[in-house]
Amino acid sequence: DAGVIQSPRHEVTEMGQEVTLRCKPISGHDYLFWYRQTMMRGLELLIYFNNNVPIDDSGMPEDRFSAKMPNASFSTLKIQPSEPRDSAVYFCASSLGLGGPADTQYFGPGTRLTVL
Amino acid sequence: AQSVTQLDSHVSVSEGTPVLLRCNYSSSYSPSLFWYVQHPNKGLQLLLKYTSAATLVKGINGFEAEFKKSETSFHLTKPSAHMSDAAEYFCVVRDYNNNDMRFGAGTRLTVKP
């Protein structure tokens, strides 16, 4: 398996523009997670899905952020409009399950977002 | 709610010497604990995890960690550091009551030749 795939790897945009980050989880994994990593706040869980259904979006910073998972092999994280403070590395991760041996999250390489 | 504290933001060791990265946690319930490693410009990779089985957990690349409930600690160790171990290490705790996963702030490990 190719692992978790994220695109783009780098994104530079201007304030106010819409940004869409993409993730393809490992085939067969039922859980998908979106994280944000910054120097100031470290790693933060934004939202996670189980079988394509959002379970917990309490980490989504505000209404400008939205995430979807239209099918088991694809998820998007959208920021509209983007702001400079959204600059961060965004990671997607997937796992077979929660708890026990299945509770191992596999991370993608991340998307480095810069909002000017 | 659970939380995790990594006691050192930066650890520097010489190649071939032991590594100790410290992690303390708080949890209302029986936690699961994880150590992840992040190399520069890479995603996180699981090193090892504790899920209420053996308290001494062995992971990849020669790392291991011991769960000590009385000390609420889950320190990561390796007998002999290698240059390739230089990376950022994250301790993570999960309460199974709420499936909430909390990451520590990270410890940057530097390995000197």
pLDDT at A7: 96
The tokens describing A112, both together, are 């480095």
Number of Cβ atoms within 10 Å of the Cβ of B70: 5
Q: Are B102 and B3 in contact (CB under 8 A)?
A: yes
pLDDT above 90 (res B32): no
pLDDT confidence of B40, banded at 50, 70, 90? confident
Residue A28 burial (10 A CB sphere; 0-12, 13-18, 19+):
exposed
Burial B8-40 (b: 16+ CB within 10 A, else e): eeebebeeeeebebbbbbebeeebbbbbbbbee
Minimal-distance CA residue of chain B relative to A100? B51
From B32, B43, B100, residue closest to A110, measured CB to CB: B43
pLDDT at B99: 66
8 Å CB contact of A106 and B46: yes
pLDDT confidence of B31, banded at 50, 70, 90? confident
Q: Give the three-class secondary structure for B7.
A: coil
* Residue showing tokens 């991340």: A110
Q: Are B107 and B89 in contact (CB under 8 A)?
A: yes
Cα B41 to the center of its chain, rounded Å? 19
8 Å CB contact of B45 and A98: no
pLDDT at B84: 95
A103 to chain B: which residues are within 8 Å by CB?
32, 49, 51, 94
Distance CA B32, CA A43 (A): 18
B45 to chain A: which residues are within 8 Å by CB?
107
pLDDT at A101: 67
From B43, B46, B99, residue closest to A104, measured CB to CB: B46
Give per-residue pLDDT as tens, A69-100: 999 999 999 999 999 999 999 999 999 987 76
- List A residues 4-63 in contact with B (Cβ-Cβ < 8 A): 4, 42-45, 55-56
Give per-residue pLDDT as tens, B45-98: 999 999 877 889 999 999 999 999 899 999 999 999 999 999 999 999 987 666
Q: What percent of chain A has pLDDT over 70?
A: 96
Which residues lie across from A105 on neighbouring strands? none
For all residues of chain A together, what is the average pLDDT?
92
* Residue showing tokens 């990376």: B87
pLDDT at A1: 64
Q: Which helix (H) or strand (E) holds A20?
A: strand A19-24
pLDDT at A97: 84
> CB-based contact (8 Å) between B99 and chain A?
yes
pLDDT above 90 (res A42): no
pLDDT above 80 (res B42): yes
pLDDT above 70 (res A25): yes
Q: Is A2 left (phi over 0), alpha (psi -120 to 50) or beta?
A: alpha
Alpha helices in chain A (DSSP H): none
Q: Which of A70, A71, A65 is nearest to A47 (CA)?
A: A65
Q: For chain B, what is the radius of gyration of the CA atoms?
A: 13
pLDDT above 90 (res A40): no
8 Å CB contact of A103 and B99: no
8 Å CB contact of A99 and B45: no
